[in-house]
Amino acid sequence: MTELKLPSLDYAALAPILIMLGAALVGVLVEAFVPRRSRHVVQLTLALLAVLAALTMVVLNADDRLITAGQAISVDGPTLFLQGAILVLAAMALLLIGDRSVERGGAFVAQAAVTAESADDRRQAEGRNGLTEIYPLTTFAIGGMLIFVAANDLLTMFIALEVFSLPLYLLCALARRRRLLSQEAAMKYFLLGAYASAFFLFGVALIYGFTSGIPGRGAGVDFSTINAAVTESPTSPVLLFAGMALLAIGLLFKAAAAPFHVWTPDVYQGAPTPVTGFMAACTKVAAFGALLRVFHVAFAGAAWDFTPVLGAVAVLTMLVGAVLAVTQTDIKRLLAYSSIANAGYLLVGVLSPSRDGLSGTMFYLVAYGFSVLAAFAVVTLVRDADGEATHLSRWAGLGRRSPFYAGLFTFILLAFAGIPLTSGFTSKFAIFGPALDGGQAWLVIAGVLTSMVLAFPYLRVVVMMWLSEPGESTPTVTVPGGLTSAALMIGVLATLVLGVAPAPLLDLATGAADFVR
């Protein structure tokens, strides 16, 4: 029996993760012991405080460049930047989730898996007191994402993937209205997510096999070992490439890149809108954080080999997202396809090996996260008696009915379209510039062309809102409560500020753009 040696833990560096996971556990206890009436306030406060505390720790750790917990967790510039991004965006998402003024009692039910339309299900949907199980679930997911972007070996990464994916599957099923659609979305997400996880795990196994046999070094799936193996391993490179492909598939699934995007529209449409916003912003950050680390650290030596394949995936993703967005009739599906196209742009950033490419990608993640959360915040507001009115035909003439919110949404759509003075322009610039410098002109050309295609569906919504007469069925915009207003305003202001003065955040991203190996 070999003695099991516990690795040393740097608690300060791990604090953000520990805080979020601890808060999630406390949240479970709150569900059990705090009286129902005050649970919502307590849970929301707890979650927001935990995010704030974790964010504070991230800021305090800003200068850390270390690997801790054995080889499992690396705390370096990209980790801290992306953790900070996830926390800020998660705070906005929590504000959306916590808003109860738009819908009495909140937009969520307690149990995901009660048979839809059954008596039990109807009871929980009609219950007047809102249910708060969503907060611990969300907090767990945030904790998992924080690990995901910090993971320094493939197993930790896999566990983190599951830690944030499982709560997300449940979150998707918690919509209080349109229960069936919501549960269907969760089911699809779960099945396909499990499917993708299997690919990822298989990839881990192949890579492990590949790393065995380096002279003077044990096999392993931590990134420094893989990095060394890429150049030194005598094992057949078939293992490496097959493993790399399978890993990439698992990650690209989470990132919603074509052809692994198929779940995205259905899930985005079915999930409760605040959760959709959370997924579109935070999951994207986490997935691309992992992609950046895997391909920039572990497989850096094979950049010449994966770039053309991932480049093709990027182009396909942009094309699918942009072209399919053209004929969408549901605003949430439209935003889903836009999110797919944006995954394509982000992949272009991942494929720029330079420091600028890395910082540009991180900047893009933050800028896009703010805009997309603001967009979904508006979607939660456009309602009629049956809940949100997401069909595009219902948005016709919205500009006449509610010029202020239609104006904000127009601004966000223009940002998505990449109009100057919005963050959409600066962030695309931050990604395409380094790609061009790195000799990836074909990706930039594809990016620009698909941006043009994508501008059409955005502008179609704008035209519809402003140039159509409001019809009988045009819903009004519910005046939002403080929480949604705050999230919306933060998103819009960030979109504007990052468009007008992107330099501070870009500098921050550039300063953070080096991995510890």
Partner 1 sequence: MEETVHYAEATGLLGSVWLLVAIPLVSAAVLLLLGRRADRWGHWLGVAAIGAAFVLGLSSFFQLRGLENKSVELSLWDFIAVGDLRVDFGLLFDPLAAVFVLLITGVGFLIHLYAVEYMAHDAGRRRFFAYFNLFVAAMLLLVLGNNYVMLYFGWEGVGLASYLLISFWYGRPSAATAGKKAFLMNRVGDAGLAIGIFIMFATLGTTQYDEVFNGVGALTGATVLVLGLLLLLGAAGKSGQFPLQAWLPDAMEGPTPVSALIHAATMVTAGVYLIARSNPIFSANSTLQLVVVSVGALTLLMGCIIGAAKDDIKRVLAWSTVSQIGYMFLGVGLGGGAYALAIVHLLAHGFFKANMFLGAGSVMHGMKDQVDIRRFGGLSKHMKITWLTFMMGWLAIIGMFPFSGFFSKEPIIVAAFEREDWTAWLFGGAALLGAGLTAFYMTRLFVLTFHGPKRWTEDIEHPHESPALMTIPLVLLAVGSVGAGFLLSTSVPDWLTATAGLGGEHAEHEAVLSHAVITVLSLLVTVLGAGLAWFLFRAGTATAPQPAGVLVTAARRNLYTDAVNEAVFEKPGIFLTRALVYLDNRGVDGLVNGLAAAVGGGSGRLRRLQTGFVRSYATSILAGALLVMAAFLAVQAGWLA
Question: Which residue ranges make up the site for partner 1 (CB under 8 A)?
Answer: 187-188, 191-192, 195-196, 199, 237-238, 240-242, 244-246, 248-249, 253, 258-260, 262-263, 265-266, 305-306, 308-309, 312-313, 320, 323-327, 453, 456
Nearer to partner 1, 192 or 496 (CB): 192
Tokens linked to 498: 């990052």
Q: How far is the CB of 259 from partner 1 (least distance, A)?
A: 3
Q: At what angle do helices 237-255 and 284-293 cross, to 10 degrees?
A: 160
Nearest-approach distance from CB 195 to partner 1, in angstroms = 6
Q: Rounded to an integer, what distance in angstroms lies between the CA atom of residue 317 and that of residue 251?
A: 14
Q: Which is nearer to partner 1, 320 or 367 (CB)?
A: 320
Our separate counts of H helices and E strands in the chain read 21, 5
Inter-residue contact 440 to 348 (CB < 8 Å): yes
Distance separating alpha carbons of residues 50 and 62, to the nearest angstrom: 18
Closer residue to partner 1 (CB): 45 or 393: 393
In the complex, the smallest distance separating the C-beta of residue 245 from partner 1, rounded to whole angstroms, is 4
Q: Rounded CA gap, 192 and 186, in Å?
A: 10
Q: How far is the CB of 116 from partner 1 (least distance, A)?
A: 16
Would you say 279 or 492 has its CB closer to partner 1? 279
DSSP string, 318-351: HHHHHHHHTT--BHHHHHHHHHHHHHHHHHHHHT
Nearer Cβ to partner 1 (462/477)? 462
Say if CB 110 and CB 36 are below 8 A apart.
no
Nearest alpha carbon to residue 387 among 486, 270, 482: 270
DSSP H helices in 212-236: 223-232
Closer CB to partner 1, 359 or 440, in the complex: 440
Helix (H) or strand (E) holding 387: strand 387-388
Alpha carbon distance 120, 113 (integer Å): 11
Nearest approach in angstroms of CB 302 to partner 1 is 9
| DSSP letter string, 29-53 | HHHHHS-HHHHHHHHHHHHHHHHHH
Q: How far apart are alpha carbons 264 and 274 in whole angstroms?
A: 15
Task: Report, in Å, the least distance between residue 445 CB and partner 1.
Answer: 16
Q: What are residue 73's phi and psi, to 5 degrees?
A: -125, 130
Smallest gap from residue 312 Cβ to partner 1 (A) = 7
When the beta carbons of 202 and 429 are compared against partner 1, the nearer one is: 202
Residue 313 Cβ vs partner 1, minimum distance, rounded to whole Å? 7
Minimal distance in Å, beta carbon 450 to partner 1?
10
CB-nearer residue toward partner 1: 167 or 265: 265
CA distance 273 to 102: 12
Whose tokens are 């926390």? That residue is 87
Beta carbon nearer to partner 1, 72 or 251: 251
